Each structure stands twice: as structure tokens, then as C-alpha cells.
């Protein structure tokens, strides 16, 4: 396999892993937040703001993976 082939494979792995892992985390986080709101409806505002912050941070991880993949593709 050539060097450019390995870089392309690394970019593909980077995108797939950095997309799948945060997606699973976001699903679990949203699920637990909904359970928490169902148990304590009076704390819904605080739970919701914490949920939005954590989802944004998880999404940033995906964007970092995309950035690294773009940097790898630029080397091809």
C-alpha cells in the first residue's frame, strides 16, 4: 500500500471513529437527561442547560476529528 493510500485510510478511520463515539455519547447523554427531567421536573432548566453544554463539547470532538481528516487529506 502506498503512502497516500495509508493517509487516505487514516483519514477515513479518523472521521468514522470521531463521528461514531460522540454520537453514542450524545444519545446516552440525552437519554439520561430525559430520565432526570422525568424524575425531577423542577430541575429541568438546570439539566437542560448542562445537557446543551455537554452536547456542544461532544460535537466539538467530532469537528476536531473532521479537521484532522482534512489535514490528512491535504497531504495526499
Model confidence pLDDT, tens digit, residues 14-69: 888 889 988 999 999 999 999 999 999 999 999 999 999 999 999 998 999 889 88
- The domain limits of the chain are 3-75
Q: Would you identify the CATH topology of the domain 3-75? A: F1FO ATP Synthase (1.20.20)
DSSP string, 9-48: HHHHHHHHHHHHHHHHHHHHHHHHHHHHHHH-GGGHHHHH
What's the pLDDT score for residue 75?
Answer: 80
62 contacts: CB under 8 Å, gap ≥ 6? 18, 19, 22, 23
What's the pLDDT score for residue 76?
Answer: 67
Mean pLDDT, residues 71-76 taken together:
83
Amino acid at each position: 500500500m502506498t503512502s497516500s493510500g495509508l493517509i487516505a485510510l487514516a483519514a477515513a478511520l479518523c472521521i468514522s471513529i470521531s463521528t461514531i463515539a460522540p454520537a453514542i455519547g450524545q444519545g446516552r447523554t440525552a437519554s439520561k437527561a430525559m430520565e432526570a427531567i422525568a424524575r425531577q421536573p423542577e430541575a429541568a432548566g438546570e439539566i437542560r442547560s448542562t445537557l446543551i453544554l455537554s452536547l456542544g463539547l461532544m460535537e466539538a470532538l467530532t469537528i476536531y476529528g473532521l479537521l484532522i481528516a482534512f489535514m490528512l487529506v491535504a497531504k495526499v
